[in-house]
Structure 1
Amino acid sequence: MTEEISPETPLTLLLVDDEPSILSALRRLFRPCGYRILTSESGAGGLEILRQESVDLVISDMRMPEMDGAQFLEKVRADWPRVVRILLTGYADITATVNAINKGAIYRYISKPWDDNDIVLTVRDALEWQRLQSENIRLLALTQTQNEELKSLNAGLEARVKERTIELEQVNGFLNLANDTLKQSFLVSIKVFSGLMELREGSAGGHARRVADLSRKLAIHLGVDAKAQQDIFIAGLLHDIGKIGFSDAMLAKSVPKMTSEESGRYRKHSVAGASALMPLADLKAAADLIRAHHERFDGQGFPEGTVGLAIPVGARILAVANDYDGLQIGTLSDNRFNAEDAKTLLVKSRGKRYCPTVIDALVELLGAPREEPGQSREVPVTQIRAGMILARDLLARDGALLLAADYVLDANLVREIQSYARREALSLVLHVKPNATPR
């Protein structure tokens, strides 16, 4: 039996009880609630209705002939697990009730005689719970679909990736050995991912690594704590991750040459990059810096227009390092500037676009030698030994990262590096720390 309450309401209740008076009482109770109501006087009849109709919630009596409520709800659970199940029990048989709960996985059981308000609220809450479950499944499917769309979007990279297959396989070989510590592997993975993104950037390749290195040096110079230094370094490596969906033509343009539409997309890339990293708890701090690295000290930046010291110090550092390199590679201007002119332009915007403290640190840092005497020593690739510690990143011919600074070489890795140098006909010289004792 079917009773249509409202043609616009998709929620359907199935009431199963061998007593017509109980079914009538329940139907009268739920009529004002706007549900579509189906009824059956037996478990078998209820199963037949479920095969033919879309049902959201079942209320079943416990004691019925031929098939009791426990057996009925167990079958409902097996064939229609999405349907919410509620049991009505009118006798104190705790064993049967527990059996129904276990086998039928019911949402709740209600004793007869019931309280009208209680049963109405229970049904409402059960349907809301079901809605939330369905929404969770929908969002999961949506996320998976979006991931597939992202993969399709990146399909244009396939040709370039194929061109680098040999080098990437070499990188993977090094990464397979880079498992001494979780922290070190984590940082190496981020550097490699940053390098993969830069395969698209052509003449701007290496930008992320240079920004990360300068940002870390500025953070150290300003006395930032070790944890924040690492977050700033990671943010530098990944600060352009939000550009992953940009076309090759757009990536090749300097900011002043972008169309209004392209400029609008460009102004959203810091938010997109931060959002991409937010699910990773270890990268939340870095994501916050990426989001804010285009904020200006005078409040004229984006995305929030944050002013002055309210901008995270890591983002203020990242802004200076990013623009210092961007001016030299031509991404921020129609012209490319040498290092000294780029520094001069940044100093002119001290207190306006950039944090004065960070600009002062940049001036002091660039006036110092890049590496203090005794900080590292050069070792030809043929003479490297297990136990040596890299003082600088080890890079491939095109600038792709092979191994990160501070990595401790082992015997297998030594063989891999020497084999790589022979295969590529390279006269590699590694910079290692002087206090390491080879094994």
Structure 2
Amino acid sequence: MQPEPDLAALFSGGGSSPSGTPSLPPGAKLAAMPTRPQGGRRRSLFVADDDPGILKVAEVLLGRFYEVTAFSSGEAALAAIEAGARPDVLLSDQRMGALSGTDLIAKVSELLPSTVCAIMTGYGEIREIITGISKGQIHLYISKPWQPGELVQMIRLCFQHRDLLQENRVASGEAEEQGDVLTEIRGDLTGVNRDFFLLHQKARATLIATARVLGTLLSGNGGHYHDNHADAVARISVAVADAIGYRGEARTEIELAALLHDIGKAELREEIRVADPETLRGAALSEYESHVARGVAMLQRINRFGRVWEIVSQHHEQGDGTGFPNRLPLRLILREAQIISLADAYHNLTSRLSPAEWAKRKAGIDLPRSLMDIAERQQQAAPWFATHAHLYDPIVYRAFLDVAASGKVPGFKMIVE
């Protein structure tokens, strides 16, 4: 397996030029790292972007670790692959000439199913990216402008994902061969069961990783939180589920639903998607509330997500019957949905950007947060939860408060009197 870049040894920070092209910090140096896997061949990375600055930074950042080949268009990258090139990983920009990044990746996925594909994109391109992700063509995503360390980490994850795919293929082949032999001799099935268990575990990890990418995609492009909304809601939800005693598939369903609870917002207009729901009225409010039904429809089309859609369908219901879309009473609301509802409310109260902050975020201005600001917003949220306890099942509510008071989940700390 390829030695991985040591992110701690890489320079940190870096910035972006006014045009959004990442730049290296003055005097930045890359750590000396082994660049060849055991077979001696440097692992191949194709980068396609019509911005020469992006290509240069990618070559400087990643050339020490991988065999980087840069292309100024999707057509050029595709021509190289059609001529016989076999990249391990492809990183493509979305907007570049006649052949978009998603179109390039779709073609490459047909020609080279083993190539892991990632995409770089900016605001307003969610729907196109989600289509590629749902088809299993796009494995990872990064939004512009990115920091150098973020790009290095994402590419490292791409190569890790490729290793996992290769291991799955080997394990699948071995399991199939063993299955044929055992069918003939009717021998002990322990080895096959073990192999299929491992495959199941890897498939589960891949499913969660896919859901995390989808959730992150919305958080990154929505941009209306200080940090990743889907990931934060999932971390809190899983911790509360653990405290209640959820295990196995039931726990996984909660994690998936938390990561994907806002997936329907991909179909909303940006001004509705990023608005504070409390400020919406009439048709705008109806459009916002439609994101639940839209998300459920998306998830129902993906068999692997099981009853996750049912949990997502109820995460905006409230115990007094004033929630949406179905105004359910407390006794009919799934506990799993209530867990996500509490986590969602907490992150909205503590991390949502104000209109002024959102304007700065869109302009590319960094929004640093002090520990004092974080602690202040966490405690400002406490009175809301104290006055809304009646909306939730007592078991769920108590577990939520216990986990919040423990401070064991990063970014989740609150004492409710």
TM-score category (smaller protein): 0.3 to 0.5
Give TM-score, length-normalised by structure 1.
0.45
